[in-house]
């Protein structure tokens, strides 16, 4: 699967007409107007591993997909994703939605679920925690926020990363190498009468 095809699918899933949210750099994001908790506006999709990562934090992190000297996450084709670290007012809306389940790794820059064991591609001890935690909206929780959101995000049970699945599991890459040689993220599932993937909604 080419990067261009992945990029088009990501934009369609986000509903971003004409590539309006494509960014030249992390600083191009529009920060929502808030009062109260802080806004994290540096989250980006990596076209190499399909994971969410924190751009603009000193370097481009350490992507599980690397070639010789290039181990960077890429943000070309990404929308501008944002989150908050607690209850706040966003553009006049009282934001009490979502769960404080996400952090980003100071070492590899991956955005991950901090409640489970983690695996970092650049630190054998796991992800290097940053504070505070940030919100994500589980699709099965109610009510959901009125903010624009993108579906298609999953939690990897092996490395804890937040990753995008709609480009196909074969386009993902996990730092955990299973004995079978399976190099991809493994999506977490939940049971509500039938087994289904956990679905997470990311604001943009």
Q: What confidence score (pLDDT) does residue 196 get?
A: 93
Q: What confidence score (pLDDT) does residue 58 get?
A: 83
Q: What confidence score (pLDDT) does residue 126 get?
A: 87
Q: What confidence score (pLDDT) does residue 35 get?
A: 59
Cα dihedral across residues 8, 12, 16, 18: positive or negative? positive
CA angle 143, 136, 166 (to 5 degrees): 100
Q: What confidence score (pLDDT) does residue 174 get?
A: 95
Q: Where are the alpha helices (DSSP H) in the chain?
A: 3-14
C-alpha to C-alpha distance for 191 and 182, rounded to whole angstroms: 24
Place of tokens 């959101």: 149
Q: What confidence score (pLDDT) does residue 32 get?
A: 64
- What are the residue ranges in the chain where pLDDT is below 50? 1-30
User: pTM for the full model?
Assistant: 0.81
C-alpha to C-alpha distance for 95 and 30, rounded to whole angstroms: 18
């Amino acid at each position: 699967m080419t990067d261009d095809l992945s990029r088009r699918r990501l934009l369609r899933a986000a509903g971003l007409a004409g590539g309006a949210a494509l960014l030249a750099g992390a600083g191009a994001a529009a920060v929502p107007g808030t009062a109260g908790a802080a806004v994290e506006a540096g989250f980006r999709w990596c076209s190499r591993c399909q994971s969410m990562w924190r751009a603009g934090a000193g370097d481009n992190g350490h992507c599980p997909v690397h070639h010789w000297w290039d181990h960077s996450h890429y943000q070309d084709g990404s929308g501008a994703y944002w989150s908050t670290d607690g209850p706040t007012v966003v553009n006049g809306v009282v934001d009490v939605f979502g769960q404080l389940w996400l952090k980003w790794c100071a070492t590899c820059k991956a955005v991950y679920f901090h409640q489970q064991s983690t695996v970092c591609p650049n630190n054998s001890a796991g992800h290097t925690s940053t504070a505070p935690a940030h919100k994500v909206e589980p699709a099965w929780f109610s009510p959901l926020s009125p903010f624009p959101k993108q579906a298609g995000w999953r939690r990897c049970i092996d490395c804890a990363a937040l990753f995008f699945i709609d480009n196909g599991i074969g386009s993902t890459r996990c730092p955990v190498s299973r004995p079978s040689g399976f190099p991809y993220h493994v999506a977490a599932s939940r049971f509500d009468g039938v087994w289904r993937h956990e679905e997470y909604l990311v604001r943009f």
